[in-house]
Chain A
């Protein structure tokens, strides 16, 4: 008995002692890494005379890795260029990236790991992660630029959404269909959506559109792990839908498009921005996707004929030649640009603290991302989306897999829609 307890003691004591030696430096002295005054500017954590440290909490190894990896690379590329041009507020920006693999527990630990050392979050991805961290982010007054577009978080001051929200995307594209004569009063729309924030928000949009246009919505809720949409499409067919709305991931869009075409349902399929991935053009459903899909996003497709967009596409291609072109690159760049604007404003206000960043963010309006995001962005209206315009894109065999007109689309319904409703 003695020996085994001694062994148990060794198991615990040795690593603890080792950890003690490793974790050098007393915790008591709250090392104000930059807190206080720095010249005549107030600074917060992560800010020194020469650097500003930002964090990125994203998914590089889980379900959203295909979108998040190029996005994060675009963040990094942007700051690399900015720093070469002198940075912001006479300081270079450092980005610390953490990969949570879509596990909320891991994300919380990682956040705790670096939250004391960063001024703000350049990127936060994952709705369960955001939900779990919301109270802590508020407590820490940590600004977070979301790689997601839910309207439910618009009222949170410290959450910055770069683009139009999912419900507005949906309203816009359904209105586009109506304009083109593909939807009439009295029609039924089928909506396939993911369980969670993302899906529910898209559904809210289609339901609002339907209520304003004397149409009906038939819902089908699925989980991210459901990849075979046979039953769902059968239900839509039964209901005689004239259009299918999709607020899911690319795999489900492909499944729906393929099955619907196979069943002889040649109806338009409209999707929110995360539903598309250029890889779908190589899948068996490629023809169906090209024929019927309309993607609504406030993010510009890779080939959009606008100066800012082309520049980003070329530079990214040069830096990451093996990377597959997709719109998350445009988004990552725009997200970093918005952060740059926020930091710049905060610098002007001489307040580079966390609270200062939040305040500066909501003083910004008319942000022009060179076309990367539809419409100028306006963060001065509390609780309102920064833009209500989108690009309506069609899948095509071009780099990035989407083609769109340079003109943005913003319907009257979308303009008058109350996000808080």
Chain B
């Protein structure tokens, strides 16, 4: 089995996790035009809850609780904080900074609670592996892939076919007109945030399962590595988030697998590679692969 193919499959499996995380990022941006840095700590909240509760409630029970909690927290952030800032005239940059502040608050509290522990998530697939086309892939990753693809399909259908999806797209592209048409902007907004929260919980649970060792106090920081994935695919495209996630996963794994061959570029490129990939893609398509171009009207 060629090394390239092995790395490709492994990279795709990692990419599915990034895709899950990036999707949540994109949903918020698509609906409310906010770059949500707090996504990272909501993710950590989800992972933390799963890690703490899986012994009493089982993995899926704990995941259910995590999804609810994260959806609620995210919706609250929108209702209480984001809206307050918008009312005062906050623009995109200011809102992004607000989410940074929230991220620091939530992240610090979660780090405190995790403390010095390393908490496994108790995913039912444990360290089981299957062989995909001759390559060993952890079963948790297969589950993540299945879920990611399912979600992508669901979102695509929702955005294009359902009333809610259309409402969200119109609210994002022209809030004034949408409001005039009777679209409840508020509900659309916190609905999107709640969904993003749920996605964060799912993404977090998989992110910290095998082959990762568990939730530790640095989990929140790690989640930020999904930002290139979200941007690369286009910040307002959920399909783009999946493509972006997969691309970043493959690029990272390849960089690690071929480290010897590219050693002249310096070692340890795996943190840089997502951003190099991002820069290259953006130079080619400035709004991300599937992102909608900004139209300026005078």
- A and B are interacting partners: yes
Q: Which residues of A contact B (CB under 8 A)?
A: 61-63, 65-66, 69-70, 195, 218-223, 225-232, 234-235, 238, 250-251, 254-255, 258-259, 261-264, 277, 279-280, 282-285, 287-288, 324
Report whether B138 and A65 are in contact in the complex, using a CB–CB cutoff of 8 Å: no
Report whether B212 and A222 are in contact in the complex, using a CB–CB cutoff of 8 Å: no
Report whether A264 and B136 are in contact in the complex, using a CB–CB cutoff of 8 Å: yes
The count of A-to-B residue pairs whose CB atoms sit within 8 angstroms is 142
Give the distance to chain B from A269, nearest Cβ to Cβ, in Å: 14
Report whether B6 and A234 are in contact in the complex, using a CB–CB cutoff of 8 Å: yes
User: Any chain A CB within 8 A of the CB of B287?
Assistant: no
Report whether B268 and A251 are in contact in the complex, using a CB–CB cutoff of 8 Å: no
A296 to B210, CA, bound (A): 25
User: Any chain A CB within 8 A of the CB of B109?
Assistant: no
Report whether B213 and A255 are in contact in the complex, using a CB–CB cutoff of 8 Å: yes
Report whether A221 and B253 are in contact in the complex, using a CB–CB cutoff of 8 Å: no
Q: A218-B260, A258-B127, A262-B136 are in contact. Are A251 and B267 (CB under 8 A)?
A: no
Task: List 26 contacting pairs A-B, 8 Å CB cutoff, sorted by A.
Answer: A63-B217, A66-B117, A222-B268, A223-B270, A228-B14, A228-B211, A230-B11, A230-B13, A231-B10, A232-B256, A235-B256, A235-B258, A238-B257, A250-B118, A251-B214, A258-B127, A258-B210, A261-B127, A262-B129, A262-B211, A279-B118, A279-B213, A283-B118, A283-B214, A285-B210, A288-B127
A263 to B132, CA, bound (A): 12
Report whether B211 and A66 are in contact in the complex, using a CB–CB cutoff of 8 Å: no
Q: Which residues of B contact A230 (CB under 8 A)?
A: 10-11, 13-14, 211, 253, 256
Report whether B213 and A227 are in contact in the complex, using a CB–CB cutoff of 8 Å: yes
Question: Which stretch in B27-35, B166-174, B188-196, B218-226 binds the other chain?
Answer: B218-226
Q: A251 touches which one: B7, B209, B212 (CB < 8 A)?
A: B212
Closest 9 CB pairs of A and B: A231-B256, A66-B116, A279-B118, A254-B213, A221-B267, A231-B253, A221-B268, A284-B210, A262-B129
Q: Which residues of B contact A221 (CB under 8 A)?
A: 259, 267-268
Report whether A61 and B111 are in contact in the complex, using a CB–CB cutoff of 8 Å: yes
Among residues of A, the one whose C-beta sits closest to the C-beta of B225 is A225
A145 to B118, CA, bound (A): 28
User: Any chain A CB within 8 A of the CB of B255?
Assistant: yes
Give the distance to chain B from A252, nearest Cβ to Cβ, in Å: 8
Give the distance to chain A from B120, nearest Cβ to Cβ, in Å: 5
Interface magnitude class on chain B: 35 or more
Q: A65 touches which one: B209, B210, B217, B257 (CB < 8 A)?
A: B217
Cβ proximity bits B247-290 to A, threshold 8 Å, 1 near / 0 not = 00000111111111000000110110000000000000000000
Give the distance to chain B from A244, nearest Cβ to Cβ, in Å: 14
Q: Which residues of A contact B102 (CB under 8 A)?
A: none
Q: Which residues of A contact B138 (CB under 8 A)?
A: 259, 262
A195 to B270, CA, bound (A): 12
Report whether B268 and A223 are in contact in the complex, using a CB–CB cutoff of 8 Å: yes
A219 to B253, CA, bound (A): 15
Give the distance to chain A from B213, nearest Cβ to Cβ, in Å: 4
User: Any chain A CB within 8 A of the CB of B103?
Assistant: no
Report whether B117 and A279 are in contact in the complex, using a CB–CB cutoff of 8 Å: yes
Report whether A234 and B116 are in contact in the complex, using a CB–CB cutoff of 8 Å: no
Report whether A284 and B126 are in contact in the complex, using a CB–CB cutoff of 8 Å: yes
Give the distance to chain B from A196, nearest Cβ to Cβ, in Å: 10
Residue of B11, B252, B256, B258 with most chain A CB atoms under a 10 A cut-off: B256
Residue of A65, A230, A234 with most chain B CB atoms under a 10 A cut-off: A230
Cβ proximity bits B1-32 to A, threshold 8 Å, 1 near / 0 not = 00100110011011000000000000000000
User: Any chain A CB within 8 A of the CB of B182?
Assistant: no
Q: Which residues of B contact A264 (CB under 8 A)?
A: 136
Q: Which residues of B contact A (CB under 8 A)?
A: 3, 6-7, 10-11, 13-14, 111, 115-120, 123, 126-127, 129, 136, 138, 209-214, 216-218, 221-222, 225, 252-260, 267-268, 270-271
Among residues of B, the one whose C-beta sits closest to the C-beta of A231 is B256
Q: Which residues of A contact B123 (CB under 8 A)?
A: 284
A282 to B52, CA, bound (A): 13
Among residues of A, the one whose C-beta sits closest to the C-beta of B121 is A284
Report whether A234 and B127 are in contact in the complex, using a CB–CB cutoff of 8 Å: no
A200 to B11, CA, bound (A): 27
Report whether A231 and B270 are in contact in the complex, using a CB–CB cutoff of 8 Å: yes
Report whether B211 and A220 are in contact in the complex, using a CB–CB cutoff of 8 Å: no
Among residues of B, the one whose C-beta sits closest to the C-beta of A252 is B213
Residue of A62, A263, A279, A288 with most chain B CB atoms under a 10 A cut-off: A279
Q: Which residues of B contact A70 (CB under 8 A)?
A: 116
Q: Which residues of A contact B213 (CB under 8 A)?
A: 227, 250-251, 254-255, 258, 279-280, 283-285
Give the distance to chain B from A195, nearest Cβ to Cβ, in Å: 5
Report whether B260 and A234 are in contact in the complex, using a CB–CB cutoff of 8 Å: no
Q: Which residues of B contact A235 (CB under 8 A)?
A: 3, 256-260
Q: A258 touches which one: B211, B257, B267, B271 (CB < 8 A)?
A: B211
Q: Which residues of B contact A63 (CB under 8 A)?
A: 217-218
Report whether A284 and B120 are in contact in the complex, using a CB–CB cutoff of 8 Å: yes
Q: Which residues of A contact B118 (CB under 8 A)?
A: 66, 250-251, 277, 279-280, 282-283
A285 to B116, CA, bound (A): 19
Q: Which residues of B contact A284 (CB under 8 A)?
A: 120, 123, 126-127, 209-211, 213
A195 to B269, CA, bound (A): 11
A66 to B218, CA, bound (A): 11
Give the distance to chain A from B164, nearest Cβ to Cβ, in Å: 35
A257 to B10, CA, bound (A): 16
Q: Which residues of A contact B11 (CB under 8 A)?
A: 230-231
Q: Which residues of A contact B117 (CB under 8 A)?
A: 66, 279, 324
A225-B221, A230-B211 given; 11 more Cβ-contact pairs under 8 Å: A63-B218, A219-B260, A225-B225, A234-B257, A235-B3, A235-B256, A235-B260, A261-B127, A262-B129, A284-B127, A284-B213
